[in-house]
Amino acid sequence: MEAATADQDNEGVALDQDDEVQVDFAQEALDELDRALSKVKIDASALTMPDKRKKLYKWQCPQSYKRSSLKEKQLIALAENFWRQYTHIYPDRKPLLLCPLNECGVEKFVSTTLRPTVLPYPVLFNWEGCANFVSDFLSLEPLDPPTDPPRHLYSPTHVLQMKRGSCFDFSTLLCSLLLAAGYNAYCVSGYATKDVCLLNLARQECPLLAKNEKDKTEKQAVEVLKYTVKPPRDLSSAFERHQEEMRQKEAQAARLKKQQEADRLQEELERPPPDPLFGLRVHCWVLVKCGAREVPEDFFIEPLSGKSFSTTDQNFLGVESAWNHRNYWINMQDCRRGCTDMSFDLGDPIKWEYMLCGDTSQSLLLIPSMKKQEFEDDDEEKEESKVFQMPPSWVNELNISQQDMEMRFPGGVKVIQYRKAKLEKFAPYLLRDGLVTRLSTYHDLDCTEVCVVKEWYQHRNDHLEERELRKAGNITLEHFRRGRSFALKHHRYVTLTPDSDREMEFYSQARADGLARRVGKGLEMIEFFEDRPDFLFYRHILFGKHAKKVTIGEIAEQGHRPLEKVVERFHRDTTKPASEDVAERVFLVSEERIQVTYHRDQDRIIPAWRNFTIPQESGDTQQKQTFTPDMASTFQVDPFEKPSKNLFLYEMLMALMKEEEKVAQRIKSSEKEVRAILDLRQYEETNIELHISIYNTARNDKARKHREALERMAEEARLLQEEKELDYLAPFLAQLGDPEELTRQMALQLRNDCLAELKQRLIDKANLIQGRFEKETQELQQKQQWYQKNQPTMTKEDEDQYLAYCSDAMFRIHILKLRLNRHKDRAPQKYLALDEKLRRDPRLALFL
């Protein structure tokens, strides 16, 4: 017992000493920390904050945005020099856009603002995709004033973030994308018409409309063979014909004149008012030169609308300068006649003045071998090295998120006003009905009288792709993707009630009956089939009027109108002889007659036919009236052919009567199908659902829920884990009143308390073991004494019991001894470990 306490005391002393040393270390560290802290404070005070948004952005700006590198500074000096010379030589030309300020207010040369970046979106791999993306993604901030280039030119990354910019921002972004896609692209600064500068498309035809017209005008010329027969001689009077022609020509001419007059008037009406700033409006667009990516000839891309123009287009009125990521050129050509006869051979030093000397200034049209030769001639490599190279771009890599790509338009919506048309575009999934594009065309220029509304949908569960509403006649035309029930393809209707006129087209290959089209019109229904094994291609059904008396039983059968006449037509089945191959079957249901017409033989002009009269049912015998030969009349094309037998005719009539029943059944099911389709459509229109692909992680609700559940579970597990790791400092902090921030004093006290507590506990534990040990030995001793006293009187049994007890007790004592020894060994380690932990503890580390 004594030994144990002494040990503990020793231990405590040792620990205390240890503590002293460590505190000293901590003291030193603390001093350092103090100094560091004071430094931090200075840093923070350096920030000046303008408006909030910009500050936020600038905070994230990389260094290259805020500073200019040495090379950039050189470049800016060069540009300055260049500009001075320029203003000296051409004092009356407009100032050039060379080194505008970027979003951090630092001067940057325009070429270095271009940042070619390949983005992982396939649509951006060709120029159409890039141009459309830029025009869709950004919204325009017009230049102010419109006659001067802007003072600022933001980096493309900034523009992408803000989703708005001037035409210069548009061009810079587009040019960056095009350069990355491998095009030989240049930004061009110049002058353009008001419509172009302000993105006014109201005077242009909608491109979606123009495309349709193109499809129609395609025809093939008929080849005239050598032995084509001459047309039969025309026996009418040539003079009369001539006179008639003359008359018609005159009428035509008059009509044409009128038309022209009307056109002229219309044009006059539509012509825009003259622009006072015509020719002065500054604009920036993109030039794509031929050579790379199989571009056959130079063209402009107008970045605001995303359209391409030829380099001679009248909308572009002049060019000041052009640049790409390598060099900058000034146009030396006369722009009085716009761009009509301008050369874009940038290597021509008479027409284009380059800023940086070097191989980029050379004509890109030179043949490579010649270029090489020039290099060989040019032995002075030193001079080569002297040539100033354009420094790399200061802009970070462009980055467009998947979400932005999908949203595409600012806010997901874009409206473009065309001539007599309005185009609205929406991001997919933005609208609940899946609408992505709506094109409304109007009768008049002011866009008040709607003519046709065409809508395009995406991701609809009912497979609707297009809907066209013609105001004239109020006709709706819907187009569906493959995969609908009943394989519906087109549906043209006025209303969705079953009896109204409609026309449905189907994907005939997907249907078992090969139905391609079904037209319902008043009391008629026409069905067209394709590729049927029985060669049926046409069925025309004429219904009778509804029976007036409607009983309760008939309500269930409503819509099944009585048949009046059914015509079915068949293609030629070449395995049968023509005189046995049915071309047309007419079931005159109301007249109780059936007419069958056969196909014409190859060199015949008259088909064979058979007409049957259906035998009347004689009431009592329940049997069909016996067949008589005059029930069938036949016309045979070949007069020498044997007339068919009565048996054959009888069997045929029976077969036809059966067919008639079948046809009636089929017509009923057709009517039912129409009603089913209409019901389904109505239901779908009231409950529109969008299809979400299983790969669409952002929108797939189910998947998201699953993922969220997983995340939540993980979170819970983590919390549980945290709870397990109880905060060992908590009680001590509580003693100090849970202060928000610790002072050094407090931290030290905390640490000392904590360590003292541990020490106490370790000592307590050792004492506990000691206590138990003592108790155990005492008991054993008592037992031994008791044994020695009673040994003579004890039975064998008792003796055994005593011995067992002794060995047990000895074992326990031994264990306790071992435990105590181990505890003594490990206590200092534990103490040190805690100390270490305390030093590492995030709350205290700062102070120790």
Partner 1 sequence: MNKLYDTIEPSVVNEQMLQKAIVEQGPQGPAGRIAQQEGIEYIEVTQLRLHFLNILKIDNLWQFTSLTKLQLDNNIIEKIEGLDSLVNLVWLDLSFNNIEKIEGLDKLVKLQDLSLFNNRISVIKNLDTMLSLEILSIGNNLLSELDSVIYLRRFKDLRTLNLAGNPLCNEENYKIFIAAYLPDLVYLDYRLVDEKTREAAFAKYQYAIEEKKHNEAQEQKAKDEKEKLAKTLQLHKDAFVEYLDGPQLFNSMFADDADAAKLASLPGVPTLLESYLYPAHYSCTQLFEVGLSKHEIRQKEVQTLFTCHREAVTDNQERAAKIVADFETIRRQQKVNEIMNTADNDMVDAMIDQHNDEITHLYEALMTLELQLVDQLEDIIKDFERNITDMSAAFVEHVQGVYPLLCRDLENHHHEKLLEIAVATLERVAKNELEEELPDDLRMLFVDKDTVSNAISASHDTHLLKIDNREDDLITHVHKWLAEMMKTLHANEGSRNRNRISEIINYTDYVREQLEMVLTQEME
Give residues in contact with partner 1 (CB under 8 A): 225-230, 232, 595, 600, 603-607, 623-624, 626-627, 635, 637, 639, 645-647, 650-651, 654
Q: If you compute the radius of gyration of the chain from its CA atoms, what whole number of angstroms results?
A: 48
Cα–Cα distance measured from residue 832 to residue 22, given in angstroms and rounded to the nearest whole number: 10
Residue among 612, 568, 615 at smallest CA distance from 594: 612
CA 700 to chain centre: 14
C-beta of 447 vs 526, nearer to partner 1: 526
DSSP characters over 388-410: PPPPPPSSPPP---HHHHHH-SG
User: In which residue are the tokens 């138990």 written?
Assistant: 772
Cα–Cα distance measured from residue 536 to residue 304, given in angstroms and rounded to the nearest whole number: 55
Q: What are phi and psi of 667, to 5 degrees?
A: -65, -40
Considering the complex, what minimum distance in angstroms separates the CB of residue 171 from partner 1?
A: 60
Cα–Cα distance measured from residue 495 to residue 500, given in angstroms and rounded to the nearest whole number: 7
C-beta of 226 vs 548, nearer to partner 1: 226
Considering the complex, what minimum distance in angstroms separates the CB of residue 241 from partner 1?
A: 20
C-beta of 228 vs 829, nearer to partner 1: 228
Q: How far apart are the first and last CA of the chain?
A: 38
DSSP characters over 268-281: HHHSPPPPTTTTT-
Element (H, E) at 493: strand 488-493
Structure-token pair, residue 301 = 């891309």
* Contact yes or no for 412/404 (Cβ under 8 A): no
C-beta of 473 vs 639, nearer to partner 1: 639
User: In which residue are the tokens 């043949």 written?
Assistant: 367
H-state helical runs in 687-743: 701-724, 730-735
- Residue 318, SS3 per DSSP: strand
Considering the complex, what minimum distance in angstroms separates the CB of residue 229 from partner 1?
A: 4
C-beta of 33 vs 652, nearer to partner 1: 652
Considering the complex, what minimum distance in angstroms separates the CB of residue 616 from partner 1?
A: 14
Considering the complex, what minimum distance in angstroms separates the CB of residue 611 from partner 1?
A: 8
C-beta of 83 vs 627, nearer to partner 1: 627
User: In which residue are the tokens 């199908």 written?
Assistant: 673
Its sign, for the CA torsion 743, 745, 751, 757, is: negative
C-beta of 644 vs 781, nearer to partner 1: 644
Structure-token pair, residue 448 = 């008040």
- Residue 424, SS3 per DSSP: strand
C-beta of 639 vs 737, nearer to partner 1: 639
The count of other CB atoms within 10 Å of the CB of residue 803 is: 11
Structure-token pair, residue 129 = 């995709």
Considering the complex, what minimum distance in angstroms separates the CB of residue 575 from partner 1?
A: 14
Considering the complex, what minimum distance in angstroms separates the CB of residue 660 from partner 1?
A: 18
Helix, strand and coil in the chain, % to nearest 5: 45, 20, 35
Considering the complex, what minimum distance in angstroms separates the CB of residue 219 from partner 1?
A: 20
C-beta of 609 vs 847, nearer to partner 1: 609
Considering the complex, what minimum distance in angstroms separates the CB of residue 595 from partner 1?
A: 8
Cα–Cα distance measured from residue 747 to residue 730, given in angstroms and rounded to the nearest whole number: 13
Structure-token pair, residue 120 = 């992982």
- Residue 567, SS3 per DSSP: strand
- Residue 527, SS3 per DSSP: strand
C-beta of 500 vs 625, nearer to partner 1: 625
C-beta of 448 vs 616, nearer to partner 1: 616
C-beta of 151 vs 230, nearer to partner 1: 230
Considering the complex, what minimum distance in angstroms separates the CB of residue 218 from partner 1?
A: 24
* Contact yes or no for 306/132 (Cβ under 8 A): yes
C-beta of 232 vs 737, nearer to partner 1: 232
Considering the complex, what minimum distance in angstroms separates the CB of residue 645 from partner 1?
A: 6
* Contact yes or no for 506/517 (Cβ under 8 A): yes
CA-CA distances (angstroms) from residue 660 to 507, 563, 585, 663?
27, 11, 10, 5
Considering the complex, what minimum distance in angstroms separates the CB of residue 640 from partner 1?
A: 10
Cα–Cα distance measured from residue 65 to residue 59, given in angstroms and rounded to the nearest whole number: 11
Considering the complex, what minimum distance in angstroms separates the CB of residue 649 from partner 1?
A: 9
* Contact yes or no for 321/311 (Cβ under 8 A): no
Identify the bridge partners of residue 524 per DSSP, sorted by sequence position. 521, 542
Cα–Cα distance measured from residue 791 to residue 793, given in angstroms and rounded to the nearest whole number: 6
Cα–Cα distance measured from residue 170 to residue 198, given in angstroms and rounded to the nearest whole number: 13
Pairing mode, strands 632-635 and 582-588: unpaired
C-beta of 651 vs 661, nearer to partner 1: 651
Considering the complex, what minimum distance in angstroms separates the CB of residue 583 from partner 1?
A: 11
Considering the complex, what minimum distance in angstroms separates the CB of residue 217 from partner 1?
A: 27
C-beta of 326 vs 565, nearer to partner 1: 565
C-beta of 645 vs 822, nearer to partner 1: 645
Q: Is 722 exposed, middle or buried (0-12, 13-18, 19+ CB in 10 A)?
A: exposed
C-beta of 538 vs 732, nearer to partner 1: 538
Considering the complex, what minimum distance in angstroms separates the CB of residue 591 from partner 1?
A: 8
CA 741 to chain centre: 49
Helix axes 2-45, 796-840, angle to 10 degrees: 20
Considering the complex, what minimum distance in angstroms separates the CB of residue 569 from partner 1?
A: 12
DSSP 8-state symbol, 228: P
C-beta of 652 vs 688, nearer to partner 1: 652
Considering the complex, what minimum distance in angstroms separates the CB of residue 230 from partner 1?
A: 6
| Greatest Cα-to-Cα distance within the chain, rounded to the nearest angstrom | 166
Cα–Cα distance measured from residue 107 to residue 102, given in angstroms and rounded to the nearest whole number: 6
Q: What are phi and psi of 50, to 5 degrees?
A: -80, -140
